[in-house]
Amino acid sequence: MKTVERRHKSTDADPTRDKLLDVAGRIFADRGYRAATIRQICVAADANVAAVNYHFGDKLGLYTEVVRQSARIAEFQAAQTVIDQDAPAEEVLRAVIRARLHSLFHGDRPDWNFRIMAHELAQPTPALRRLVNKAGQPLFHRLLELIGGMIGLPAEDENTRLCAISLLGQIMVYALAGPLVTAIWPEFEMTPEQVERIADHIADFSLSYIQNFRSKTSARSIKRTRPAVKPRASK
């Protein structure tokens, strides 16, 4: 708020700053904003406690930069997956799911991008809401478009939204609730193969509903009262 944010001439080549950013990313991702301490970060980055203040002005400044970078990477990754936009919707959806899970556990760059976001989603840092939302929007928007297209409803339709949330929930649970996963599946380990398998499962699981959605349209009206017969048509 009061101090300088950026004092450096060029954006590249500031080893201390970069290391700080990298280490901070990891630690923030592990512990969350509050629990992480500047000292931990600085010790791990082999820097002085005041270095954070010098380079980022603030603990929040450092964190903001970390999130910003995460956001940049997220946007970039999202953009990258767009390439095969002319592929069939199903394939695109599978690609998106796989990409998300991948960036969550095996992104080439710092692997904490998504976990930072996860923390923010769980316990938002007041000052950062907008930034995080902005970072997530491309993904969310795409998902809504995609699903909307597949179920033949506008992106803003309640059903589209519910499906998008269902889909994201399946992905996020791995990021947000590791212990839950472990509790259900003790031998679970995040190997690249496992990631693939999970991605496939989530896709299959979700497409099953999405691709059969159309047949349901007419049964909508009774929903309200918890109907004895659910709209699963063919069932």
Applying CB under 8 A, which part among 8-16, 18-26, 68-76, 155-163 lies near its own copies?
155-163
Q: What does residue 135 show for φ and ψ, rounded to 5 degrees?
A: -65, -35
Q: Is 106 in the site for its own copies (CB under 8 A)?
A: no
H helices of the chain, in order, are 15-31, 38-44, 49-56, 59-81, 89-105, 113-122, 129-151, 158-176, 178-184, 192-211
| Nearest distance, CB of residue 176 and DNA, angstroms | 23
Two tokens, residue 172: 């996020």
Q: Which helix (H) or strand (E) holds 155?
A: none
Applying CB under 7 A, which part among 49-57, 78-86, 96-104, 118-126 lies near DNA?
49-57
Applying CB under 8 A, which part among 19-27, 63-71, 99-107, 153-161 lies near its own copies?
153-161
Per-residue b or e along 159-176, where b marks 16 or more CB atoms closer than 10 Å to that residue's CB: bbbebbeebbebbbebbb
Q: Is 231 in the site for its own copies (CB under 8 A)?
A: yes
Binder of DNA out of 5, 50, 82, 127 (CB under 7 A): 50
Of residues 198, 102, 111, 100, the one with CA closest to residue 146: 100
Binder of DNA out of 22, 32, 44, 53 (CB under 7 A): 53
d(CA 77, CA 155): 22
| Nearest distance, CB of residue 1 and its own copies, angstroms | 16
Applying CB under 8 A, which part among 13-21, 29-37, 67-75, 78-86 lies near its own copies?
29-37
Q: Is 139 in the site for DNA (CB under 7 A)?
A: no
Q: State the CB neighbour count (10 A cutoff) for residue 20.
A: 26
Q: Which among its own copies, DNA, none contacts residue 208 (Cβ within 5 to 8 A by kind)?
A: its own copies
| Nearest distance, CB of residue 233 and its own copies, angstroms | 7
Q: Which among DNA, its own copies, none contacts residue 146 (Cβ within 5 to 8 A by kind)?
A: none
